[in-house]
Amino acid sequence: HLREVPVRDVHINQLIRPTDGFTGADIEWMCTLAKKRALGRRIVSKNEPLEITQDDLLHGIQEVKKRNQ
């Protein structure tokens, strides 16, 4: 879900445990939320590159977990 999106400082191994039990749809939504968050940063600060960060993905994980409760 991030194949065409630039990422910066993303450590996949640190995302494995928090996403345990996620469905494919959950992973897709997590990535979509991360993209939206990065886009929001880009809109606010036009000089900031459009890149997904570890923090964006961790934020997406938390949002998916809230939705699934």
pLDDT (tens digit, 9 = 90+) per residue, 35-65? Answer: 999 999 999 988 888 899 999 999 999 999 9
pLDDT at 2: 86
Does the pLDDT at position 4 exceed 90? Answer: no
Q: pTM of the full predicted structure?
A: 0.90
Separation in Å, CA 37 to CA 20, 24, 30, 44, 69: 22, 20, 11, 11, 22
Q: In the predicted model, what is the mean pLDDT of the chain?
A: 93
pLDDT at 59: 97
pLDDT at 1: 84
Q: What gap in Å lies between CA 29 and CA 62, rounded to an integer?
A: 11
